[in-house]
Amino acid sequence: MPHHPVTLVESSAQGAVACISETAVTVLDGQTGSLLATTHPSSTPTVHHIPSVPTTSGNIRAAAFSPTGRFFALCTEGKSLLIYDTSAWTLLRHLTSDKRTNALAFDPLETHVLAGDKFGDCTSIPLDAAHSPSVILGHVSILCALAFTHTTPPMLLTCDRDEKLRISRYPNAYNIQAFGLGHSEFVTSVAAPRFAPQVCMTGSGDGSLRLWDVRDGGLLHTVELSSLLQSYYADGRAEKADGNSFEDRTQASERYGVLRVCAAEGLGAFVVVVERFPVVIVLPVEKDGRSLADPLVVDVQAPPTDMAPTAQGFIVAYAKGPLLADAYVRNKQGAYVRDTLVSEEIARTVVTREVPEEVQVPSIYVWGNKMYIERPAGENSNSNNKNEEDD
């Protein structure tokens, strides 16, 4: 029988990788694939038990490690937010929000976790339970992604469904440093590298990646994904949208929606996954820290659901197929190849629920596209749909 896919992958600066499926969390060593912690029962003394997410809370929607990897946070469809101390994977704080959270990020000092919700608010939540959460900024549409720059002082980056990147001063986030304007569709992801602290990259449903100067919001570089990936539609390696189901109700059959942009510190590059394409795109940053070298398109086993960087490569989770996840590493020639040993260990370690048929992961165009409409009566809901709820 098929298994439920891993839908979220998060990595820490110290090499831990969290693979998430529904309410289950499996934490691996990104270099070896060995098990470090899990919500599943384990008889191995060296494996930490992670206090489980209550099934009544619904599936996990987003997760994040803190900058040093000491803390880990996740949020659920049932509006729960859990914060863990990763030294022994103890639960530090369990809160319930009034709104469903879409994105999480820890601040640079690791004293607060920030939560962006579908109403556009960004809430700062102290790790110390003696203090209460507070809203520090707001957009007028769904917040899709959060990140912090590595500048001094740090800037808070927030992206929304209305094509905007906002760059705010932190912690007084009501002070707006700049906007990054130029996308024509919802902005799904943002990443800010330590190795090039003056820039960030966004990805969008408009099929582009954009490199920005975080000091003034200036656009430095645009990558049109159609120029890199159109051949995958031409030869059938990418899946065209049919436009007839709720998950794909848009006019375009060929789309280049960015699922995730990450800053891979060990590679000096951004790494990107695109909905429906069995690839990971690697975009090296030039030595000037403000421009991009030629991109590399790395073929992987199947279209990804998510991806996270490791020290010399990345771990990618798949939307369908016999494999839940794979590890890729950069070899001495600079090519990215499947790490067979680590991938085999991941296959042994990551366990998800058996399902009667393959799970169809909803398209990002459901909640992001301006053509979004409410689900018609009679169409089945999907628990991973970010916009099916009322609040």
Sheet holding 176-180, edge to edge: 143-148, 155-160, 165-169, 176-180
| Positions of the chain with pLDDT under 70 | 242-252, 369-391
| pLDDT confidence of residue 56 | 82
Nearest to 133 by CA among 94, 175, 103, 185: 94
Nearest to 181 by CA among 195, 197, 198, 160: 160
| pLDDT confidence of residue 251 | 58
| pLDDT confidence of residue 250 | 53
Q: What is the CA radius of gyration of the chain?
A: 19
Asked if omega into 171 is within 30° of 0 (cis), the reply is yes
User: Are 52 and 64 a contacting pair, CB within 8 Å?
Assistant: no
pLDDT in tens, 158-178: 999 999 999 999 999 999 999
Cα 262 to Cα 289: distance, rounded to the nearest angstrom: 16
Dmax (CA) for the chain in angstroms is 58
What SS3 class is residue 320?
coil
Residue 344: phi, psi to the nearest 5?
A: -65, -35
Cα 10 to Cα 63: distance, rounded to the nearest angstrom: 7
Cα 100 to Cα 119: distance, rounded to the nearest angstrom: 9
Nearest to 162 by CA among 142, 180, 145: 142
- Sequence-ordered list of residues with C-beta below 8 angstroms from that of 15, at least 6 positions apart, any chain: 29, 30, 31, 310, 311
Q: What is the DSSP-derived secondary structure letter of residue 381?
A: P
Cα 267 to Cα 314: distance, rounded to the nearest angstrom: 10
Cα 344 to Cα 331: distance, rounded to the nearest angstrom: 18
| pLDDT confidence of residue 1 | 86
pLDDT in tens, 252-272: 678 999 999 999 999 999 999
Q: Of the CATH numbers 2.40.50.100, 2.130.10.10, 1.10.357.10, 1.10.10.10, which one belongs to the domain with range 8-368?
A: 2.130.10.10
| pLDDT confidence of residue 242 | 60
Amino acid at 276: R
User: Are 216 and 265 a contacting pair, CB within 8 Å?
Assistant: no
Cα 159 to Cα 144: distance, rounded to the nearest angstrom: 6
Nearest to 201 by CA among 119, 284, 299: 284
Locate the domains of the chain by residue range: 8-368
